[in-house]
Structure 1
Amino acid sequence: MNLKPKIDFKHFERCFTAIDTHTMGEFTRVVIGGFPEIPGNTMIEKRNYIVEHYDQYRRAMMFEPRGHNDMFGAIVLEPVHAEADYGVLFMESETYTNMCGHGSIGTATALVEAGLVEVREPFTEVVLDTAAGVVHTRVKVENGRAQEVTITNVPSFLYKDNLEIDIDGYRIPYAISFGGQFIPLVDARKLGVEICTENIPFFTDVGIKMLEKIPQEVEIRHPTVDIREVTTLEFYDESPTEQADMKNIVVFGKHQVDRSPCGTGTCAKMAMMHAHGRLGLHRPLINESVIGTLFRGELIDEVQEGEFSAVIPQITGSAYVTGIATYLIDPRDPLRYGFVLGE
């Protein structure tokens, strides 16, 4: 059967239009309609305005019954910078993130697949205005379909090195690197625990405890942009397979685990490796996720970011549209803004 619903949208508080995608396994709900006009002279100001006035809609789109604990999303807005096609704010079950690699790939794919940018073959350029800065994406297009996306990220750099933190009586060494967001990086070999799906509970437990404690011990402050949060942490190791160089597991939000190799995490790790003399320019790095999907990374330039020596990283991966939906906020619904089990 092919039924056509006849719903009177005037009965609803809000109607959101979204394109659902996944990037190498990690979900992105790309919200392309329904949010009110968001004022702000920067994308950070726009994000802060949403936090103050419309955070209930983030919860509605990320939490049950429309989502779940491991949700991730992107809000497409008017850009601030003239060179950008669209502004985008990234959100997850806990908060907002300044930049997201897999989310940028998913958003660019959705915009191309939906015809919301001028599509050209073999490559379509889509410029995104994020809270971390302007991000250029290059979408490989064949027969009108997005095949893969290369993002050129913001300047990335090693922020602090040779740190240690006490978690459950253990001293864990780590570094903090910036790849669009500040990401603590932990060598899983120092913990003696293999990166695999069976050990996800261990890594989420340790990772969330570290994320809660690190801001109490380390000042987080970007030299040129108002970014002071640390919300994502990466454990890494060498890949046990020939298809990749490194393997990771990335935790964030409400005990969330990234199914993709994490774009900002890959950028942060490449910046750290470059600072350590372990990764030069124009040398590919294949990064593997905990479920075995891959990103291809490369450093294309060296720059200065405030007092930090930084690099410009690129990440390449593929995303796929999994659905298009209209989500409704019914004012009669006591759970209209979502809920999380256990809270």
Structure 2
Amino acid sequence: MIIQKTYTATDVHVAGQAYRIVKDGPFVHYQSIQELNEQFSLAYQEEIKLLLNEPRGFAGLMGCLIVPPFKSDADAAVIFFDHYGTVPMQYGGIVAVITALLECGQLKARPSNVYRIETINGVVSVTAAIKDGEVKSVKLKSGPCQVVQVNAPVSYFDLNTEVSLVQADHIYAIFDKAELPFEIEMENLPVINQWGQKTIEALEGKYAFSRVILLDHSQKSEGKIKTVTFRPDRYIVRSPGFGTLAACSSYLLRNGDISAGSPIENESLFKGKLRAEYSAQIETSYEFSFSARGFITGMQTYVLDPTDPLFAGFLLK
């Protein structure tokens, strides 16, 4: 084996969503996190493929590049990326980064439990509860979420239903599961997947959306919902999703299905759970506080062998 390059990474999952946290990479000149973000896709093109693509990664893996902060009031700065380049601020990624920095000793625990992470969307403040060296929970706030449209008609072959659109970290198209004859359970994955394919085809070209949610709110009186979320490329999101939870909570609040004082727990198809509480309402927008925990799943060294015929990796979806 010929080793041309090596990279170390820490893997963390948050409610089922996996993040690969990288602290080393090519030396490039930048003077702000915005400038690094602009250069990232080109400067780190090889690293994106090496670290996120199969056989070392998989289609649902997210990347986090940690660098020293640019702002004096921040503890670290982070760029989030997927297989195609940089992506906007990831709430789960913040939880993963704080967990890795504290549990691996790169960030010293402080009595206030408050830490600040710089992103391209600004500095995010989080509260991390630590016990016996473990991060037991991380709390952070969402940005504003707004219901854009409700009960818009959707027709496609034998599909006749309605969709509601919510602007959170993405534009979410929410569908009510009450109309469907199956439950959001793993054994129903094939039929759920078929529903998702058909629904995305029905929406394309008619409504602007970035994610599709199938929402089961039959237990909303108990503060519980279940969801499955699809990306536009038909890939099912692994976790309950911070954005999914905020979008569904906004939708339910807007419809009067839940009260502002009631916490909501979202369970995914894969039994991952996230919790949110109403934080504030600013005009027609809602804000929420999230509580989650990250778990370190591995620390690895990855190598680039230039003789490897699959050095650029591949993706199966």
- Same-fold call, TM > 0.5? yes
Q: In the alignment, does 2:263 pair up with 1:276?
A: no
What are the within-5 Å matches in structure 2 for residues 316-327 of structure 1?
316-327=291-302
What are the within-5 Å matches in structure 2 for residues 303-318 of structure 1?
303=282, 309-318=284-293
**Residue 200 of structure 1: aligned partner:** 189
Percent identity reads 23
Q: Is the 8 A contact 1:134 1:154 kept in 2?
A: no
Q: SS of the residue aligned with 2:306?
A: coil
1:290-325: CA deviations, max 9, x gaps? 232321111111225xxxx21221111211111111
Q: In the alignment, does 2:223 pair up with 1:233?
A: no
Gaps of 5+ in 1: 1-6, 221-229
Residue 270 of structure 1 deviates from its aligned partner by 1.5
Q: Could you tell me how far apart the structure 2 residues matched to 1:240 and 1:138 are?
A: 29
Q: In the alignment, does 2:163 pair up with 1:188?
A: no
**Cα distance 1:58–1:188, how it changes in 2: closer, same or farther (>3 A)?**
farther
Q: Is the 8 A contact 2:40 2:86 kept in 1?
A: no
1:234-275: CA deviations, max 9, x gaps? 211036699851111122375433333211111111122222
Of 211, 217, 241, the residue aligned with 2:206 is: 217
Q: Is the 8 A contact 2:28 2:43 kept in 1?
A: no
Q: Could you tell me how far apart the structure 2 residues matched to 1:77 and 1:328 are?
A: 21
Q: SS of the residue aligned with 1:322?
A: strand
**Cα distance 1:37–1:329, how it changes in 2: closer, same or farther (>3 A)?**
same
Q: Is the 8 A contact 1:61 1:67 kept in 2?
A: yes
Gaps of 5+ in 2: none
**Residue 81 of structure 2: aligned partner:** 91
**Cα distance 1:34–1:235, how it changes in 2: closer, same or farther (>3 A)?**
same
What are the within-5 Å matches in structure 2 for residues 85-164 of structure 1?
85-93=75-83, 96-121=86-111, 124-164=113-153
Q: Is the 8 A contact 1:167 1:206 kept in 2?
A: no
Q: In the alignment, does 2:281 pair up with 1:302?
A: yes
Residue 140 of structure 1 deviates from its aligned partner by 0.8
**TM norm structure 2:** 0.85
Q: SS of the residue aligned with 2:21?
A: strand
**TM norm structure 1:** 0.79
Q: Could you tell me how far apart the structure 2 residues matched to 1:98 and 1:236 are?
A: 24
**Residue 332 of structure 1: aligned partner:** 307
Q: Is the 8 A contact 1:135 1:153 kept in 2?
A: no
Residue 38 of structure 1 deviates from its aligned partner by 6.9
1:29-49: CA deviations, max 9, x gaps? 122222544747564x64443
- Number of paired residues? 317
